[in-house]
Amino acid sequence: MVLDKPAGLPVHRGPRGGASLEDWLEPLRMGKRHLPQPAHRLDTDTAGCLVLGRTKPALAALGAIFAGGRADKTYWAVVRGGPVEDSGVIDAPLRKTSSAARGWRMEVHPEGQRAVTTWRVLGRAEGTALLELRPETGRTHQLRVHCAASGWPILGDPLYGGGEAGGLHLLARAIAMPTEPPLAAEALPPPHMRAALAACGWRE
């Protein structure tokens, strides 16, 4: 199954407790022995398509698709500034770093893991741009770091330079999986992104 995860809801319960997607899995059991489980990750502040497996065999099959890079993932992001070109590829390895002052984060580093993102501009406004992002790899915070390292951080990203106002403007817009039968789903933009999207020319 595919859920439209709201922004601000973590997928897993953290060490400090609080609400998470795990609190809402029981109603989705629907007669199965086990609770459905996420087959991949979405950041807490990222809204949109999240794939879950309803059985252990299904979860294993979905995991193999993601691990093999065969899931077709499409994201929308509103970024500050924006690229000069209309499309391109970001090929920049990422690694985790941490400090007592700033906590942990991801950074572009030649010794990091391979990370590749293709992108194209869907619309522009004064001071912002709407990008379609397609990650070819699935590194933690990949899209956020790649955009920031390119000089156009995602709007509302306090960790990587996009500012704190209005929430993270990153949406897992669509997902397509080569399952049998094929699985495809699309998520509408969350309320906090709609004004910025409309400024860039998006119409519902």
Catalytic residues: 43
Local structure of 78: helix, strand or coil: strand
Side-chain-facing half-sphere of 80: CA atoms under 13 Å: 18
Cα Rg of the chain, angstroms: 17
Whether cis (ω within 30° of 0) applies to the bond prior to 191 is no
Looking at residue 78, its amino acid is: V
In the structure encoding, which two tokens stand for residue 33, read together?
A: 């022995």
CB contact burial 37-58 (16+ within 10 A = b; e otherwise): bbbbebbebbbbbbbbbbeeeb
The gap between the terminal CA atoms of the chain, to the nearest Å, is 24
CA distances from 118 to 91, 135, 152 (A): 9, 6, 15
What residue has token string 């209309």? Answer: 86
**For residues 48 and 144, what is the distance between their CA atoms, to the nearest angstrom?**
15
